[in-house]
């Protein structure tokens, strides 16, 4: 028999070199370079948040004072409190309405369903500036005084669309016969919804709420158009301070926001992936 096994010495050197410089290696190099360039500004921001220099003109030493001062700044704490109130309130209302909307669109047929489906997801594609101006014009037309709750109402508009979209994607993969089995066993439609359907939708609802909360926390345009006197959110406070230049305390606050937003996004993705694994089993 002919021995078909080849030693490394039998392979030409030019073939080994071509294998070492395969397209896959170039793809990894390109992807690494792109990620480095994308996240380089964030790295520079984090670097200068530890700088002793007040004006970030040059490195003058390492310090944590800017992070400590943030928790002693009354304006920052008040703006953070307003942002949390707006985010939690908007997400809480949107979670209920978005879940009911997704279930209704998936389970029931009615006149104008396709039109309603298209309109309900418009906030996902309409620019924020258009939503902000439209909301402000509507509030002025109905003579509603601007306040913190008008920010909540405006944030519900886009939070509702994001939560409904994620719940709909989760709902499309569920087994519809489970609800029918519950109804056949004597459960009422309400009991089937709360005991059978809702637990299965929970990963999608939670991930949608986390995504909507991050978007609400980071929103500046819509909040600035619909905010009343004294209703200052955290992005609005940051914008008002950087008009005279970016200071290290703003760098530190930005780093904290990036870390918190990343942690929330990671938690949402973890819950979504875990839900998909359970469903696949």
Tens of pLDDT along the chain (281 residues)?
445 444 545 555 555 455 545 566 788 888 888 888 888 888 888 888 888 877 666 777 788 888 888 888 888 889 989 999 999 999 999 999 999 988 888 877 778 888 887 888 888 888 889 889 999 999 999 988 888 899 999 999 889 989 998 888 888 777 777 777 888 888 888 888 888 888 888 888 988 898 899 889 889 999 999 998 778 898 898 888 887 777 788 888 888 888 888 888 787 777 767 766 665 65
The DSSP secondary structure of 43-109, one letter per residue, reads HHHHHHTTBS-SS-SS---B--HHHHHHTT-HHHHHHHHHHHHHHHHHHHHHHHHHHHHHHHHHH--
Give dist(CA 125, CA 98) in Å, integer.
17
Instruction: Show contacts of 83-87: CB within 8 Å, 24+ apart.
Output: 83/216, 83/217, 83/233, 83/234, 83/235, 84/217, 85/148, 85/152, 86/148, 86/151, 86/152, 86/155, 86/216, 86/223, 86/233, 87/155, 87/213, 87/216, 87/217
Token look-up 């359970």 returns 278
Fold of domain 65-280: MetI-like fold (1.10.3720)
* CA distances from residue 194 to 128, 179, 187, 191 in whole angstroms, order as listed: 35, 10, 11, 5
């Amino acid at each position: 028999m002919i021995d078909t096994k080849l030693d490394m010495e039998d392979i030409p050197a030019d073939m080994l070199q071509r294998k070492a410089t395969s397209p896959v290696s170039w793809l990894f190099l390109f992807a690494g370079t792109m990620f480095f360039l994308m996240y380089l500004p964030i790295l520079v921001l984090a670097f200068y948040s530890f700088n002793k220099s007040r004006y970030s003109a040059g490195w003058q030493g390492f310090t944590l004072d800017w992070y400590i001062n943030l928790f002693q700044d009354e304006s920052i704490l008040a703006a953070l409190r307003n942002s949390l109130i707006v985010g939690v309130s908007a997400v809480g209302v949107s979670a209920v309405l978005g879940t009911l909307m997704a279930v209704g669109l998936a389970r029931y047929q009615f006149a104008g369903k396709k039109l309603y489906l298209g309109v309900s997801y418009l906030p996902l594609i309409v620019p924020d500036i258009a939503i902000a101006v439209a909301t402000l014009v509507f509030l002025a037309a109905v003579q509603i005084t601007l306040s913190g709750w008008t920010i909540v109402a405006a944030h519900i508009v886009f939070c509702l669309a994001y939560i409904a979209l994620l719940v709909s994607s989760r709902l499309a993969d569920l087994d519809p016969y489970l609800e029918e089995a519950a109804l056949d066993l004597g459960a009422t439609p309400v009991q089937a919804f709360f005991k059978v359907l809702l637990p299965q939708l929970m990963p999608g609802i939670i991930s949608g709420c986390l995504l909507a909360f991050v978007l609400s926390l980071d929103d500046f345009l819509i909040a600035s158009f619909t905010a009343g006197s004294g209703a200052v959110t955290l992005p609005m406070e940051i914008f008002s301070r950087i008009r005279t230049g970016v200071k290290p305390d703003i760098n530190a606050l930005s780093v904290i926001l990036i870390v918190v937003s990343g942690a929330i996004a990671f938690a949402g993705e973890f819950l979504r992936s875990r839900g998909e694994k359970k469903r696949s089993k």
